[in-house]
Structure 1
Amino acid sequence: MGDVHSFVAANQLGAERLLTFMDDYGMHDLRALAAVVQNRSEMAVREAIRALPDGVYQSEIWNNPLGERLRYPLKVTVTGDTITLDFTGAPPQQGQGGLNCTWSYAAAHATYPMKCILSPGVRSNAGCYRPFTVVLPEGSILNANRPAAVNLRTRTGWYIAPNIFRALSEAAPGQVQAATGLPHAINIYGRDAAGQLYADHFFMGGGQGACARADGKSALLYPTSASNTSIELMETRAPVLVGAMTGGAELSGTINRNLATAAQRLGIGMMLGSQRVMLDSVLGERAAPSFAVRDVAPDVLLFGNIGLAQLTKDAVPDIVAALDRVAADALAVHTNPLQEAVQLGGDTDCAGSLDRLHDVAGLLGYPVLLKEVGHGLGATAVAELLRLTGEPPVAGLDVAGAGGTSWSRVEQLVRYGEVRHPDLADWGIPTAQAITEVRAALPEIPLVASGGIRTGTDAAKALALGADVVAVARPLLPAAIESADAATGWLQRFIDELRICLHGCGTSDLRTLRDVGTTAS
């Protein structure tokens, strides 16, 4: 559901920015502006058409989807600043196979290639398509009548663009491209070991056709813009996440790149350290390289990281820019009130912070994970999250319970040179208790367990109690300082121990480990 939440958040952010734009210019609606944009786009396309020689350009293409060859004739007529695409003679609609197209689908596949040929640099809008007339005979496979089946219309529609490119190869030889390898799809569905339904789709193709200026791009499907489910989600090796550690300094950059390299090798996710410094207009530019890991970890699930104290409406553009710069997939928002209270100059104004999270999370355009930093999220925090709307404003939680690194202890050592308040050094909700409390209140929310996760056995216990993923940080740090190979080896041993625990609990599937319950503890 992360993608769906992202789409909703992106739409909401776009709407807010559009309203701000309209307020700035005193606009009540967009009709006048839209007319200007569309008219200018139309003029650009018509100018490109006038550069083509007038004439009638013909082509035909064949396919054989059901054992009988089907012929698709095409006539492209260029007259002044208009083009007519005439598909008269297309095969009749088919009674089986779901190969038929609707008028809108076929017309889109006919006009989009023209847009690519004539005005690739103009943003697409209705004005771009006004110069085109599309003739699709009613009752044909390209304009079927109800109730003809259309589920596999791609097996027909994808032949339209190559036919157009062939027809215009004489009039615009430098602008057309060769045919694209047709798509293949793998559909994966069923029930997992826990009885839950799952379904997924994976698309592949032979690559984009070449043009006069360049080779086609490997594995790119034209004209679709659909993307696959992340392969990491389909073949995750372990429910393990590299927890947030560091960033902002040169050594931090080395550590982060070693961690990211290990995560890429093992197919696990990674959380960056706090990017607060990247919000500073001066220091941010200097610190940014320490967070840059995408070149060594192009496929990992990558979390950016910002403090709840920095999460305000005014800061949204800067936060989004910081996430965009590191090519994050999601945002971890950390809350650390005890650390701030002990820290010299810490921010202790927490009033309304969760209300602010409700207001701002949807504006970011990224899925948000709320996490503690070592003192635990429990039932009270969940109740506060649900107080306003009855629904959490975030896509997931990281309990980050007591038992791991105590930032209260660290900040006391930094501030005083000693631990003056030992009771505060161990303050917090233990990770096991935090998992149990959060899972009882929110049975379905994606839940990360961190805080005292030192071994694969600790991970198995956390998963058995109800966590979906575990995050490990401090125990991994010495290996990450040493090298990427050392970090990879440490994580591999961690994962191997987790697998042995699964075997010891009599299960081979992580999703059934929770059924074992506390027998794993």
Structure 2
Amino acid sequence: MTQNKTENRKKEHITICIEKNIKSTKTTGFEDLTLVHHALPSINMSDIDTTCTFLNKTLKAPIIIEAITGGAKIAEKINKNLAIAANDLGLAMGVGSQRAAIEDQTLESTYTVRKVAPTIPLIGNLGAIQFSNNEYNIKDAKNAINFIDANALAIHLNPLQEATQPEGDLDFKNDKTAIKNICQNLGKPVIVKETGAGISRETAIELEKSGVAIIDIAGLGGTSFSAVESYRDKEKQPIGTVFKNWGIPTAISIVEVTKSTKLPIIASGGIRSGIDAAKAICLGANYVGLALPLLKPATKSANDVKKVLQQIIHELKTTMFLVGAKNLEELKTKDIIITGETKEWLNTRGIDTKTYANRENIKNLRKNIKDVLYQ
């Protein structure tokens, strides 16, 4: 793809995401999840600890600012505002696909944020398809890491987007081999992320075998890049519209991946509140990722981005308080009720959803109830 075409496509994506409705109408599945309220939380909310470790660095909250943009001049301001917010709040950040800068080095400045965010875990980003079709090699992967001083590289999987994109590349036949090669030779952790269609247990197992360090599920229910592409090409628009709701809902993907691998999980795709974040972590995710809710604020200022993130962190802490979890590890042990389509899917895939509803000291709870009843 020519330099100008890649840069123009990046501009189009930003404009469409800001101005158009590009959300899937299929939901994340979080509405099928209910955390069990504790009227006796037995903790002080001011003592709640949301810190965690990510890429050997401490985060103040388990939040990653997901890959949004890069490769167009308009993206420079957006990425810097996101990075400043991440640095101030002690969060992590990923940049958008660095393909444009690989093709045109003058666009590197649209991704370089390390000067304004010296302490954050920073994630580079390239597409699996460019390695699958041998357009890129390990030298390009290392370059993507080096010119932004990243701590890890995200390899994004976007077969749905490529299939609905006017200039899409559909030669994914060497994808597994390519990812394994990157994991073996990069010298930095490799994160593999979907782009809005989710990760199944079958894919997760393959990724774990390949040596991937972290999986970012990017499930269905948030931004639909099929919908984004439908706005870019009127001739192919029917394809983008038809596949707008294709994929695995975020809540389901979290469970499929956590039940099939031991890898750390980033839950992204439609995370819109601290309650969503708490539900994702309670299901087994280690971190949550946000993108679209931060895009418009990032076109304005770092403070606008911070306001959104601070609200989500406050909501997360409030949810933890209401279920009696003083830290993230305790949150993962709390009971969560799974109903509706999410329950039906998981049960059909052989996952017993009742175990999620009966985690919390069930034997002791039953014994205490029995003692009271038969005194």
Band of TM-score, shorter chain: 0.7 to 0.9
Alignment of 1:135-284 (within 5 A): 235-280=58-103, 283=104
Which of 90, 108, 111 is equivalent to 1:291?
Answer: 111
Matched, 1:431 2:250: yes
Residue aligning to 2:124:
304
Structure 1 residue 490 displacement after superposition? 1.1
Alignment of 1:486-501 (within 5 A): 486-501=304-319
Structure 1 residue 384 displacement after superposition? 3.4
Structure 1 residue 235 displacement after superposition? 4.4
**Contact conserved, 1:232 with 1:300, CA < 8 A, in 2?**
no
Work out the percentage of aligned pairs sharing the same amino acid.
Answer: 39
Residue aligning to 2:292:
474
Residues 81-125 of structure 1 deviation map (CA, whole Å, 9 limit, x = unaligned): xxxxxxxxxxxxxxxxxxxxxxxxxxxxxxxxxxxxxxxxxxxxx
Matched, 1:331 2:157: no
Residues 202-235 of structure 1 deviation map (CA, whole Å, 9 limit, x = unaligned): xxxxxxxxxxxxxxxxxxxxxxxxxxxx999564
Distance 1:517-1:244 versus aligned 2 partners, 3 A rule: farther
**Contact conserved, 2:102 with 2:140, CA < 8 A, in 1?**
yes
**Contact conserved, 1:376 with 1:402, CA < 8 A, in 2?**
yes
Gaps of 5+ in 1: 1-229
Q: For residues 307 and 286 of structure 1, what CA distance do their matches in structure 2 show?
A: 20
**Structure 1 segments (4+ residues) deviating >6 Å:** none
Residue aligning to 1:193:
none
Matched, 1:510 2:328: yes
Name whichever of 458-467 and 419-428 sits farther off. 419-428
**Contact conserved, 1:232 with 1:267, CA < 8 A, in 2?**
no
Distance 1:254-1:487 versus aligned 2 partners, 3 A rule: same
AA partner of residue 283 (structure 2): L
Residues 456-492 of structure 1 deviation map (CA, whole Å, 9 limit, x = unaligned): 1111111111100000000111111110111111111
**Contact conserved, 1:505 with 1:520, CA < 8 A, in 2?**
no
Q: TM-score, normalised by structure 2?
A: 0.72
Report the 3-state secondary structure (helix = DSSP H, G, I; strand = E; otherwise coil) of the residue aligned with 2:324. coil
Residue aligning to 1:15:
none
Gaps of 5+ in 2: 1-52, 340-375
**Contact conserved, 1:447 with 1:469, CA < 8 A, in 2?**
yes
Q: TM-score, normalised by structure 1?
A: 0.52
Residues 209-266 of structure 1 deviation map (CA, whole Å, 9 limit, x = unaligned): xxxxxxxxxxxxxxxxxxxxx9995642110000010001121010000000000000
Residue aligning to 1:409:
227
Q: Higher helix proportion, which one? A: 2
Q: What is the total number of aligned residue pairs between the two structures? A: 284
Structure 1 residue 508 displacement after superposition? 1.2
Matched, 1:322 2:141: no
Report the 3-state secondary structure (helix = DSSP H, G, I; strand = E; otherwise coil) of the residue aligned with 1:425. coil
**Contact conserved, 1:339 with 1:407, CA < 8 A, in 2?**
yes
AA partner of residue 187 (structure 2): G
Larger-Rg structure: 1
Q: For residues 191 and 54 of structure 2, what CA distance do their matches in structure 1 show?
A: 21
**Contact conserved, 1:435 with 1:466, CA < 8 A, in 2?**
yes
Report the 3-state secondary structure (helix = DSSP H, G, I; strand = E; otherwise coil) of the residue aligned with 1:341. helix
Distance 1:374-1:232 versus aligned 2 partners, 3 A rule: closer
AA partner of residue 450 (structure 1): S
Matched, 1:376 2:198: yes
Alignment of 1:98-137 (within 5 A): none
Q: Which has the higher contact order (CA 8 A, sep 6+)?
A: 2
Structure 1 residue 380 displacement after superposition? 2.2
Distance 1:232-1:427 versus aligned 2 partners, 3 A rule: closer
Report the 3-state secondary structure (helix = DSSP H, G, I; strand = E; otherwise coil) of the residue aligned with 2:332. helix
